[in-house]
Amino acid sequence: MGSSFLGGLSGSVVQFVFAWASSQYGAVALGGTLLAGMLPSLLLTFVGGVFADRNDARRMLFAGAVVSAVVLFTTTWWHAVAPAAVVFMVSNFALSVTGAVFGGSSYVIPAALFPKDELVRINANLSLADDAAYLVGPLLAAAIFLATGVVGSLLFAAAVGLVAGAWLLALPPVPRSEATEALNLKFVAAGFVYISKTASTMRLVLFFATTNVLAAAFQVASPFFADALGGAQAYALLLSAMNLGMTASNLALSAVPIRASEKLIFASGLFQGLALAALGRSRSLPGAVVFGAVHDAMANMSSTVFISYLQAKVPEALLGRVFAAVNTLAMLLTPLGFASAPWLIARLGAATSVVALGLVSAAVAAIFCGLRGCLAKES
């Protein structure tokens, strides 16, 4: 958990500095910086999955921390010599490449080191550490930025990231049985093949890919919905309530022993959709805040149990490539939500759009649950 907190702290500081500093060059510069940080993840996630299944996860994550530190050191030098928006675009692109290539190993460590029945609790604890980091990180980043500027902030982030990576080396080794297998197309595509041939996994992956599309559409609709309830302050309160719901969900999952199961995944998804529909029906800010918190609590529970379910069910030798395939499929479909939301809002209005997204989300959970009778006793 300590390494997870420090890694999240480093990431949140970098996120703040890149967003704020690039915004000083205009909206186009900020948009370009954010886009540069997204594209490599879409294209290179499967590479990270291959590396995760061929190398010790601890060493991969430490190597990622070292490469990230080199990128940040280079960024500070470049910014000091020739400050410009392109500095942050190129640097964010490089950090995204690093995260895509090395970050896939993070899924392997819990599955390799902890009992399968403990994975939900372990993942919830790791999420709590990350939540804490992203709560403290922006405030700390702002203080360091005001005192030392871009250079001091990024040097701090690099140092913290290196400590987080080095901390992982104290964990027991995580040898990979696939390290000697031939690196060919069959090896690279094994994650996609496993998903396509395993009905329960395919069902869950399609469910999450679909709900990601709906979540992206809600992300676009939420500011317009909140505007009718009180403007920017209402939007800020809604976001805070949703983050609080996520943290409460992690606290509950970390405190109560829960077995990862399809039933819990789909049940959480069903209540997530119903809460979103109720949120859209809310005509007062207090009601919206309550349903927003419930929505994110259920969404977080569903996703945390989903990750734990895969870690418990997927053969350990395939974990990196399977998670890479899952993330790639989700990222390919998510832009559909961003693209369709303006069309939906223009025709239905923001509030009705949120209701519709919630009802569709709940229906999707019910449909996927019924595809193979997940209410029956699971193996």
Kindly report, residue by residue over 193-237, the tens digit of the pLDDT.
888 888 888 888 889 889 988 988 888 888 888 888 888 778 878
> Looking at residue 181, what DSSP letter applies?
S
Q: Please report which residue ranges of 117-261 form alpha helices under DSSP H.
A: 119-168, 185-188, 190-197, 199-230, 232-255
363 near 273, Cβ under 8 Å?
yes
Based on the fold, state whether residues 165 and 196 are members of the same structural domain: no
Shared-domain flag, residues 70 and 211: no
179: DSSP letter: T
Domain's final residue, options 166, 184, 202:
184
**Number of domains comprising the chain:** 2
Beta carbons within 10 angstroms of residue 355's beta carbon: 20
| Pair 168, 195 in one domain | no
Residues 180 and 193 in one domain: no
Longest dimension (CA), the chain: 64
DSSP 243-303: HHHHHHHHHHHHHS-----HHHHHHHHHHHHHHHHHHHH--SHHHHHHHHHHHHHHHHHHH
Whether 286 is covered by a domain: the verdict is yes
Q: What is the pLDDT of residue 181?
A: 60
Look at residue 376 and tell me if it is in a domain.
no
| Helix, strand, coil percentages for the chain (3-state, nearest 5) | 85, 0, 15
Task: Tell me the chain's radius of gyration from C-alpha atoms.
Answer: 21
What average pLDDT score do residues 321-331 get? 82
Instruction: For residue 378, tell me if it sits in a domain.
Output: no
11 shares its domain with 100: yes
Query: What pLDDT was estimated at residue 107?
Result: 76
Last residue of a domain, one of 184, 202, 219: 184
Q: Are residues 22 and 170 in the same domain?
A: yes
Residue 109 lies in a domain: yes
Nearest CA-CA partner of 187 in 323, 324, 61, 318: 318
What is the domain range of residue 356? 189-370
CA–CA separation, 323 vs 306, rounded Å? 11
218 shares a domain with 179? no
Domain membership of residue 108 (yes or no) is: yes
Same domain? 10 vs 91: yes
Same domain, 117 and 260: no
CA distances from 169 to 9, 64, 128, 283 (A): 19, 13, 21, 52
Burial class (CB in 10 A: 0-12, 13-18, 19+), 17: buried
Q: Residue 114 — φ and ψ, nearest 5°?
A: -125, 150
Where does a domain end: 150, 184, 218? 184
> Distance between CA 250 and CA 248 in Å, rounded?
5
- The model's confidence at residue 379, banded by pLDDT at 50, 70 and 90, is very low
The reply to whether 366 falls in a domain is yes
Q: What is the CATH number of the domain that holds 223?
A: 1.20.1250.20
Closest of 27, 138, 135, 130 to residue 85, by C-alpha:
27
Average pLDDT across the chain, whole number: 83
User: Do residue 307 and residue 344 come from a single domain?
Assistant: yes
- Asked if residue 179 has pLDDT above 60, the reply is no
263 vs 378: CA distance, rounded Å: 9
Say whether both 152 and 247 belong to one domain.
Answer: no
Res 2 pLDDT > 80: no
Is pLDDT above 90 for 113? no
Same domain, 172 and 30: yes
CA distance linking residue 46 with residue 40, whole number of Å: 11
Burial class of residue 239, CB neighbours in 10 A (0-12, 13-18, 19+):
middle
375 in any annotated domain: no
In terms of residues, how long is the chain?
Answer: 379
